[in-house]
A and B are shown apart, each in its own frame.
Chain A
């Protein structure tokens, strides 16, 4: 994956994509603002959500043990996975043990994070996505580009074409003469998926929350396809990040208000499914919970960065982010795009790769993401903190051990420039001398800049350098009070 600026380059110049993104994000943005404005105690709910999550993260060890006990007591089995490979091995093993070669899935970012579909495919197991947008992405041999609306980058025409072309490869073909009206597209998806639901013996899901006190998992969704996945198969395997715990049912009260309003601008989400272990004669007979770490405890070790683990994946920050709107989700190089992706991925994966080292800079620090976040993650603060790690290196926790990382490559010139600027700014005389040189040579200044400066002057004109810096004017005129001595060079 190339660095963010390069990955974003194409999207910025792709007018269809930019149109799709602009339309979708602006629509949901406005709706969300209204849905939030309806709630008189939004600020308190936001603070409560933040506190519940912080409390849980602080005592995560305790709550995880409690969760394991309650899940086991309810007839489920808990598996622990330290990283993606381990999680994939566990799930593959569990599916194979059933003797099946296909599974239905309800949207789970955790399984995308670990690349489960690919791992299953390598073992001859087909995984069918059943969430409408995920289905579009899967049929289009594409990658998701949004947390909540993974196919946000596609318009109706493109979706119709994907359905008509690809559905027959995977099961029931699209109806003849399919048009691009939303109702017809939804119908085609429903028929296609229904076959899969009725046939599948194994379901794989994620979860929005896990309640420690009872071992209950919670999925909130809009389509009802998730409910099918959770109730019809004989075996259910839920793959969930360890940070998704809340201590009690009462805590859900807060999130079931903030999540739907922040994500889909709905007062309540249409389907809230909860399941606790197994029940005789009802629902899956076998329930497995695979808890994945995959960089989360390392993230937890970082005082500033750990707040990213509060995220409830509502996607509000994506929808207000001006950078996401132009660059598109794919440029972020992970299942977590947008502002939250820019702080989560470099923490979960480390800042070693090109893309991860560039993500903390994929923001103008405008602060819109912090404003909308229902659990008050100060994303700009974490971005700056991670920038420091990229350019300076320093002590971080990787796989549970303290290590010192080196600065990312390619920042030597910038570091030297920053040092030189600090040197000059620490000496008013040096600053003044520099300003004077700039003023005296102003007639020779080029209109376009070479080297890294081209990034500015390629699209924007440069401001002219004035004849006299302010401090010289101040001194010459005593702040405009003295009779003007000498000739006025300011004009």
Chain B
């Protein structure tokens, strides 16, 4: 199986540790993962802000880059949802606007092959115990697109529960949005910050050391809020937890 890592532009630029963790984890599980250098951005920010026509070339580019692989794995629930939920919609809209089937046909092949990381582990590799060791108390925030668009369900929690040394704390109001929402964080910063502060307070109430999620964009917002509110908690991407092992900690 030819597996490609779609890291996302945000992770590539700001969170390379998450990318290295995904590579390490998948390699450990016997997957030979490739990183196509021509990859850039799925177009989500454009699409969701109202620039669908700017997003279309990016979606085409995504298909060109990843079309030949058997599986595309991404450590981002929202970018995964962009491909799986919104690419088909972009194709439909182009058709409805009388632009023919071209876009839909171009985008169709990548849609069913794109997996969010925890989905890929549980559904494709069929593992929940990835042999990780992480001696911390952790609370898990299911990000909105992972939760509602992709329907990740309890996959991330099942993976976390199998991690040695990890104590999982339930997060009150877990399924409430953290307030990031892409450009929402800038356009409605008051409301966004209020949502972020509530999320952080809920996380703090669990007594966990670490808040983890499957999306660095949300973690950037939550983590930035934690720093300002001086909580002492750390935001960590789930890939980094699943990648860490006993040997390297010893």
Residues of B within 8 A of A452 (CB): 186
* A364:B181 contact, CB within 8 angstroms: yes
Q: Does B12 contact A (CB under 8 A)?
A: yes
* A460:B190 contact, CB within 8 angstroms: no
The complex places the Cα of A466 from the Cα of B144 at a distance, in Å, of 27
Interface class of chain B by DSSP: helix
* A388:B52 contact, CB within 8 angstroms: yes
* A418:B12 contact, CB within 8 angstroms: no
Distance in Å: Cβ of B59 to nearest Cβ of chain A? 11
* B181:A418 contact, CB within 8 angstroms: no
Residues of A within 8 A of B194 (CB): 12, 18, 326
Residues of A within 8 A of B46 (CB): 418, 421-422
Chain B residue at minimum C-beta to C-beta distance from A480: B23
* A326:B195 contact, CB within 8 angstroms: yes
The complex places the Cα of A461 from the Cα of B13 at a distance, in Å, of 17
The complex places the Cα of A456 from the Cα of B148 at a distance, in Å, of 26
Distance in Å: Cβ of B196 to nearest Cβ of chain A? 7
* A361:B184 contact, CB within 8 angstroms: yes
* B223:A425 contact, CB within 8 angstroms: no
Q: Does B127 contact A (CB under 8 A)?
A: no
Known A-B contacts A367-B149, A392-B51; the reply to A435 vs B184 at CB < 8 A is: no
One digit per residue, 1 when the CB lies within 8 angstroms of any chain A CB and 0 when it does not, for chain B 194-228 equals: 11110000000000000000000000110111011
Q: How many residues of chain B have a CB within 8 Å of chain A?
A: 72
Interface class of chain A by DSSP: helix
State which size class the interface on A falls in: 35 or more
Q: Does A119 contact B (CB under 8 A)?
A: no
* B40:A426 contact, CB within 8 angstroms: yes
* A5:B49 contact, CB within 8 angstroms: no
Known A-B contacts A426-B40, A470-B16, A473-B20; the reply to A415 vs B51 at CB < 8 A is: yes
* B225:A367 contact, CB within 8 angstroms: no
Q: Does B69 contact A (CB under 8 A)?
A: no
Residues of B within 8 A of A479 (CB): 23, 33-35
Q: Does A368 contact B (CB under 8 A)?
A: yes
Residues of A within 8 A of B183 (CB): 361
Q: Does A310 contact B (CB under 8 A)?
A: no
Chain A residue at minimum C-beta to C-beta distance from B65: A428
Residues of B within 8 A of A456 (CB): 185-186, 189, 224
The complex places the Cα of A361 from the Cα of B181 at a distance, in Å, of 10
* A8:B188 contact, CB within 8 angstroms: yes
13 A/B residue pairs, CB under 8 Å, sorted by A? A322-B195, A365-B181, A386-B50, A392-B50, A424-B40, A425-B9, A425-B43, A431-B9, A452-B186, A456-B185, A462-B224, A479-B23, A479-B33
- What residues make up the interface of A, taking CB atoms closer than 8 Å to B? 4-5, 8-9, 12-13, 18, 303, 322-323, 326-327, 360-368, 370-371, 381, 384, 386-392, 414-415, 418-419, 421-422, 424-428, 431, 435, 438, 452-453, 455-456, 458-463, 465-466, 468-471, 473-475, 479-480, 490
